[in-house]
Structure 1
Amino acid sequence: MQKIKSFLVKGCSISVLSLLGMCAFAQTPAQIETAKETEVPVPQIEMNAPWLFYTIPSWIDASPTLFPPQSDESIVLPAESTENNSWVDHQQKNIRTWADKSATKINNWFGETDPNEPATATLRILIDNEWNKHDNFEIKPRIRGKIKLPTLERKLSVVFGDDSLDNELDNNVGITNENPVGSSDKNLDSKQTRQDNGSLALRWSDLSKRLPFETDFDLGIRSGDDIYARLKASKDWALENDFAFYAEQIFRYGIDSKNYLRTNLELTHARPNHPILSNQFNLTYADSQEDDVTWGNFLFRKHQFFHGNAFSYGLYTNGFYNNHDLRLNSYGPFVSWRQPFLRDWFFIQGDLNYLNDHRNNRSHFIGALVRLEALF
């Protein structure tokens, strides 16, 4: 009973605050229909904070820079132009075709299909490599796939692989992984890798048009035998002076993993043809983790020098709340570079950071991460 009370106080309060913020902009069904008819644009929220929304961005934009201007020009050929150039290209095409055919076959099970709205499948294969002088070198293969089934009335899809990737923001700036660390005596822990990538679930999207936010509901199994249900609610708001705010709330309950609650918040200033200024914050409560609550924050500037590129730099902090003790555990600068390499479906990302770790009595040290990612 004490544990349940603790969860309600610490965990649900996070969810309630986030969802109340979303519901503050809720509309009645009549208002929704009126908005559709009149094609009302994204609502602009008036903010009385000129110093925050005008002065800081103007200072940053006016500061001198050595970086080239923003660009969306592609530096690699599209997949359609290279799919028959080599054995690797041919295999990428075969996997992509096989995935779409499998999606179509599954979609046919549920009724008559619409040729104008075919079933589709997407697949991400990642290899994350991490090194620092304390933990040495670790490799984490990760996979995440999604099969959309438009035949069903509800937006139903099948998702599989590492479900922790869906707990991150879609545009998460850094290479992160909330899965447990593998065995310390192995660079690649095969057993942990199988558990991390062993999720399979059915996903219902947009449960109701009357809700003022987007929703996903998953029902499936993860880590071998952990049957779970997961609900995600998200919404974004347009603010003044090219600012935008995005919030998402995730709640999952598993038979083995029990309660998991995560809040993701992002405040972004994105002026056309200018680098992005952004802050990404996350807060996590989980019965399976050591601390009551953990949090992390990226404050950064992001440039795009060509299509698919992201050059980011800023400050990272993280901490925890445990036994009535709130701590800042790590802080330091980071820099990240991501780009397509040779093909538009293959990406390389490299992160370099200089962080400390108070809990383990580690002063600031260099850490490096490299991600290889193939899209199908």
Structure 2
Amino acid sequence: MKKIPKLIFSKLPYALLLGGLLGNSAFAELNSSLDANTEAQKTDSHHSLSSIEADEKGWLNYIPKIVDSTPTIFPGQSDQDIVPPTQTTEDQTWADKKQKKLSDWVDRTANKMDGWFGETDPARPATATLRILVDNQWNKHDGYDVNPRIRGKIKLPTLENRLSVVFGDDSLDDEIANNIAISNNHSDGDPNKRINGKQIRDDNSSVALRWSQLSKRLPFDVDADLGIRSGDDVYARLKAQKDWSLGNDFTFHAEQIYRYGIDSENYLRTNLELTHARPNQPFISNRFYLTYADEQDDDLTWDNRTYRQHQFFKNNRFNYGIYTGGYYNNNDLKLNSWGPFISWRQPVWREWFYVQGDLNYFNDRREDHSHFPSALVRLEALF
């Protein structure tokens, strides 16, 4: 597991081929359309991308047409509120008062920290966000597992909004924005042990300084972290990301994360997302993740989710699709797990409290498990 440079750069293209297939096809189709528009009056003796007519579509552009032609029983998109705004409920109940008290304390702490670096501006106060999550997971093979998690961020405007403090479970930041699946990266696999106190403390003890927008000259956004995680693992982390508009309502998003820790050593993760979204309509998307870590047994692991997403009211999310995942070892690429999934997320009772439920039907070839149901429920409070 120590031969990271040779391993990553020699084997990564093969695994990336799986997740990049849709993205590369989208780029090819975009170039095809552009060339066709500019060369519409020209003829060519051989077939090539530059000679395709503007109205000729590739296979990628037929996917939305197929989805559109499929009958649906679901209602249309909506952004209607189903819970009252926080400003009108903050003094109504004991829970509302506690939420407001904690939110105010977080903001006061942020402003106090901001004052350490210079004179604060009342017109530009420091801001803070805090997420408290409880993930519950069950399946017949691993039993029931509870995983409390916390993640916070404090922005310091005195330092031109480029420096912030992040703390809690840093694996939440490895997930792509608006991640649709509840992840449980630290399950101990012991059916008789629902809560691993030491693991929970280690997972939530990360704290780091984050520099954002390192250079406006770079063609992508870059964040850099320097901190400590899992108690005594001093680490540095870089995250680069960029979005592309591909035309025909397609967008492509890419993230590359690299972290090096004194104890955990090398960790790399690639997140790729290809989305087709029209205004006020359900969208379809494909997300691909590739992970290398010195701490994991496999050379590489990969996951892919192809899904459709609806929104029936404000801050609601309803997803359904197909998952595939596997690993790459010793020049051998394996599909280990696949199956359908469904996910639902919505605010409950208040704007600041969310419930998400995931239902999966996957197999696990490595453990010799045929398809079996698993259920995950996330309770999340925002401050």
TM-score (norm 1): 0.89
* Structure 1 segment 38-53 matched on structure 2, within 5 A: 46-48=31-33, 50-53=57-60
Residue 84 of structure 1 corresponds to which residue in structure 2? 91
Aligned counterpart, 1:333:
340
1:272-314 Cα shifts (integer Å, max 9, x gaps): 1110100111000000001000000110000000001001000
Distance of aligned partners of 1:14 and 1:87 in 2 relative to their CA distance in 1, 3 Å threshold: farther
Q: In structure 2, do the counterparts of structure 1 residues 13 and 300 end up closer, same or farther at CA, with 3 Å as the change threshold?
A: closer
Q: How much has 1:46 moved relative to structure 2?
A: 4.1
1:91 match: secondary structure: helix
Name the CA shift for 1:215/1:15 in 2 (closer, same or farther; >3 Å): farther
Q: Rate the CA distance shift 1:230–1:2 in 2: closer, same or farther, 3 A.
A: closer
CA contact (8 A) 2:142 2:189 kept: no
Contact 1:232/1:251, CA 8 A, preserved across alignment: yes
Please name the residue that 1:71 is paired with. Answer: 78
Q: 2:298 is aligned with what amino acid? A: D
- Superimposed CA distance per residue, residues 236-291 of structure 1 (whole angstroms, 9 cap, x where no aligned partner): 01111111000000000000000000000000011011101001110000000010
- Whether the 8 Å contact between 1:11 and 1:285 is mirrored in structure 2 is no
What is the RMSD computed on CA atoms of the aligned residues? Answer: 2.1
The answer on 1:237 being equivalent to 2:248 is no
Matched residue type, 1:207: L
Residue in 2 that maps onto 1:113: 120
- Distance in 2 between residues matched to 1:178 and 1:345, nearest whole Å: 25
Contact 1:311 1:337 (C-alpha < 8 Å) held by counterparts: yes
What TM-score do the two structures reach when normalised by structure 2? 0.87
List runs of 5+ in structure 2 lacking aligned partners: 18-28, 34-55
2:308 equivalent to 1:301: yes
Deviations 1:49-81 (A, max 9, x none): 823443210221222111000001110001111
Task: Say if 1:246 and 1:87 are closer, same or farther in 2 by CA, change over 3 A.
Answer: same
For 1:198-247, what per-residue CA distance to the aligned partner results, in whole angstroms no more than 9, with x for missing partners?
10000000100000101110000000000000000000011111110000
Alignment counterpart, residue 285 of structure 2, candidates 278, 282, 300: 278
- Which of the numbers 154, 157, 160 marks the counterpart of 1:147? 154
Contact between 1:182 and 1:189, CA under 8 Å: does it hold in 2?
Answer: no
Residues 46, 240 of structure 1: 8 Å contact kept? no
Q: Counterpart in 1 of 2:325?
A: 318
CA radius of gyration, larger in: 2
Secondary structure of the corresponding residue to residue 50 of structure 1: coil
Paired residue type of 1:214:
D
CA separation in 2, counterparts of 1:5 and 1:90? 52
Range with greater deviation from structure 2 (306-315 or 115-124)? 115-124
**Equivalent position of 2:41 in the other structure:** none
Counterpart of 2:9 in structure 1: which amino acid? V
Q: Name the count of aligned residue pairs.
A: 350
Q: Which ranges of structure 1 fall in alignment gaps of 5 or more residues?
A: 18-43
The answer to whether the 8 A contact 1:15-1:249 is kept is no
Percentage of matched positions with identical amino acids: 61
Checking the alignment, whether the CA contact within 8 Å between 2:145 and 2:187 is kept in structure 1 is no
Contact 1:345–1:375 (8 Å) recurs in 2: yes
